[in-house]
Chains A and B, each alone.
Chain A
């Protein structure tokens, strides 16, 4: 509690001074101070956009695959193939994220000549997100009582239909929670992005273009000792990232509260 509070306090104290409309909406710019030195002005809108794009792209890649894999493991994964998938999934979730960055760098960025791009970053983050979504989906589906499945089967509903419309919808709040938390988790990743997205001062024009992301920007700004204003912007960017993650956590709370103590299901 105390460490958390002191971190938050420090980030808010330092970051708040950086906040302004310009900071939130502007692109990075250098100004010349009266002393003749350069100072950082402008804003981090490009990094915010980049992070949101990466989060969206990652979710679009990892959520459907993770959902399918989780459903498969929970419903049909009680065989050797299922067990090996589960094992690989566990291994993958323990992988150091920098290694995943290197992997994507050498295979996609260099090997397939995709280059530094939003796409490469999204793929790297997806590999981190996938095992989390798969795991939480499987776990939430397994929590659905046997009696609920039995009820659906006894109504003469086909197994796949029962799985999607009854089992998955009963497990829905757990699945949604898992997906949102995994997005929150990858939103703060910097290591796999260092080797995949490049950097950019302009708003995104395509997924094959280089992008900026908040974690990487925070790293670059905070390690900048010569350009004045950089450190302050670093704190500001950190504050924005924390607020973003907090919003996702709030979304989880709202998603799991719902009308029936869970996300309302519609059939």
Chain B
């Protein structure tokens, strides 16, 4: 990350105009532009402009209620499923606005997968069907192809070895950590380009957490990962870039090491040193 500092400047929070980099340093996967979000009258995201790099892990940190989940749920258009929820601004996936007229939210969600805070496997489906669900329910019937996708996804989720003889078991009979990895496999099976993870380890023990952190690092080669976490050590361990969100505003964004070692904003520093949050 030799270009980190230079990139940092461009990414500064005040820099809310969409700057199309004339000399692309590293390709961007997702850019939010003046993103605002509401729940009814509650304005929870304010002009968030964030640029997420392809094949890197970006962490979003901030105190609880600051809008982290809302931010990533805006990226794959899950936010609008909440009644009364509103969005304005743009989210560019490879330079195409996912909120442009005529864009089908379903196709956006296929390209941007999501893993939730609480493991949520489909309770009446087997391990196999959980992973295959996204493909099957979109019409894939070829067994060989499904088998391959299931194996590949479970492998990526570091779960294959543990469940390869129990693919017929109920997804909800697995342990909490395994369930979360099953959900990761389920999201990966539809071959998204981006994986959004909303505090994926907050319900898990340290060993299960370590496994997931390791697999996240492993996913970078093929995917762009955005992970929300309230655990700063976790952000430091797994991410290349970190965004600090506070009261719905992007306060600071940059290279993870830089942000943790010399935060430019006083708010960031106070948050990182545990003065609030």
Q: Which residues of A contact B (CB under 8 A)?
A: 78, 145, 147-148, 150-158, 161-162, 165-166, 169-170, 172, 259-267
Docked Cα-Cα span, A259 to B106, in Å, equals 32
A152→B78 CA distance, assembly (Å): 11
CB B118 to nearest CB in A, in angstroms, measures 6
Question: B134 to nearest A CB, angstroms?
Answer: 4
Number of A-B residue pairs at CB separation under 8 A: 91
Q: Does B20 sit within 8 A of A, measured CB to CB?
A: no
Number of residues in B with C-beta < 8 Å to the partner?
A: 34
**Which among B110, B118, B133 has the highest number of chain A CB atoms within 10 Å?**
B133
B25-33, B90-98, B119-127, B251-259 - the one binding chain A: B119-127
Which of A150, A153, A156, A261 lies at the interface centre, i.e. has the most chain B CB atoms within 10 A of its CB? A156
Contact B190 A150 (CB under 8 A): no
- Please tell me which one of the listed residues A151, A157, A162, A170 contacts residue B124 in the complex, with CB atoms under 8 A apart: A170
| Alpha-carbon separation in the docked complex, A152 to B172 (Å) | 15
Residues of A near B114 (CB, < 8 A) are 154
A151 touches B120 (CB 8 A): yes
Chain B interface residues (CB < 8 Å from chain A): 76, 78, 81, 83, 106-111, 113-114, 116, 118, 120-125, 129, 132-134, 136-138, 170, 172-173, 183, 186-187, 190
Which residues of A sit under 8 angstroms from B83, Cβ to Cβ? 78
Closest residue of chain B to A173 (Cβ to Cβ) is B124
Chain A residues with Cβ under 8 A from B129's Cβ?
A: 265-267
Question: Does the CB pair B134–A157 fall under 8 Å?
Answer: yes
A-B contact pairs, 19 of them (CB 8 A): A147-B120, A150-B78, A151-B120, A151-B186, A154-B76, A154-B116, A155-B113, A155-B137, A155-B186, A157-B137, A157-B138, A166-B133, A166-B137, A260-B123, A262-B123, A263-B124, A267-B125, A267-B129, A267-B133
Name the B residues within 8 Å of A156 (CB-CB): 106-111, 134, 138, 190
A152 to B132, CA, bound (A): 12
Q: Is the CB of A148 within 8 A of B123?
A: yes
Judge whether A147 and B137 touch: CB under 8 Å: no
